[in-house]
Amino acid sequence: MGRVRPGAWMVGTCAVTLLGAACAAGSTDLTSEDDGAARNVSGSGGRAPSTAVGREPQTASVGAGATTGAGGAGAGMAATTITATSGGAGAGGPAGSTGSGTATTGNTTTATTTSGGTTSTTGGGCTPVQVLVDGGFEQGLNTPAWSLASTNYGTPICDVGGCGMGGGTGPKGGGFWAWFGGTPLGGEIATASQSVVIPNASTATLEFWFEMPACDGPIDIFDVTIDGTVIFMTNGADPMCGSVGYQPQSFDVSAFADGGQHTLQFRGDTLAFFFTATNFMVDDVSLTACP
C-alpha cells in the first residue's frame, strides 16, 4: 500500500467515531500541500480499472521532458450562432421593415437590413485572437506550455493509459486532459497555470469544458483564477457532482484585456475526508480576445 497522510487518517477517524473530545485534542492538518498521500492504492475507490474513482499513479516523472501527444492541439469550443429578426413599421416604405443579423463566434459579423424595398449590407465585429498555448494539453503529461504541480502525481495532466478515467469520460478531445484530485486517501493539491498577454480588446472570453464525475465532500475545492481573482469556483457538494459528461463553461474576462501580462490558473485542493476521491476534470481551454 502507499504512505498514508497522518492528518487525513485523524480526520477520517474523527468522522467515523464521533468522539468530539478526542478529535479536538488531535491534529487535523487540512491544508498540507506536501506531505503526500497513498499511491498504488488498492480496493474501493483506489487504484483499479479505468472506470474506478481513484486515479492511477502517474508513470512519467516531472522533469523528464515534454511528452508529445498524438493528435495535435485539442479542439476548441463549438461555434455558437445567434439569429435575431425584428418586425415593425418600416421607415420610408409601405412594407414592414425587417432586420436580420447573424453573429458567429470566431468569424466576422455581417448584418443585412431591408427597409422600404432598399437593401444594404455592412460588415463589423472581429476575429477573436487566441492567447493560450496548448489549451487541450496535447503536448503531453509535462507540457511546457503550462506550469504544473501535483502533491501525489507530479502533474495534473493525464491520459487514459496512465491515469484511468476516474468514473468520467477521460479527455474531451485528443488524448490528454487535466485531472485535479484523484486520490481516496489524504490530501492532493494540483495546479496548472499559464502566463498570457491579453491584448487591448473590447471583449475577452475564457472557455473550458468541465466534469465532476465523483466527489468526496464540500471541503474539496476547485477554482479558476486570473491574477488571483476568482473567475470560477466549485466544491465537492456541487449538484453537478456525479454527472458524467463534460459541461461547457464560459466567462467574460474583458476586465483583463489591457495589453498586459496575466496568469491564468486552474487549482484543485482535495482532502478525501470520507476516504473517497474527488475528481475535477478540465479540457479544451480557450482564452480569446476581440481587439
The pTM (predicted TM-score) of the whole model is 0.63
Could you report the per-residue pLDDT of 111-167, keeping only the tens digit for each?
Answer: 333 333 333 333 356 889 999 999 999 999 999 999 999 999 999 999 999 999 999
Alpha-carbon distance of 271 to 277, in angstroms, equals 8
Q: Write b or e for each residue in 190-207: b if 16 or more Cβ atoms lie within 10 A of its Cβ, otherwise e.
A: bbbebebebeebeebbbb
Could you report the per-residue pLDDT of 161-213, keeping only the tens digit for each?
Answer: 999 999 999 999 999 999 999 999 889 999 999 999 999 988 999 999 999 99
Angle at 225 between CA 53 and CA 284, to 5 degrees: 55
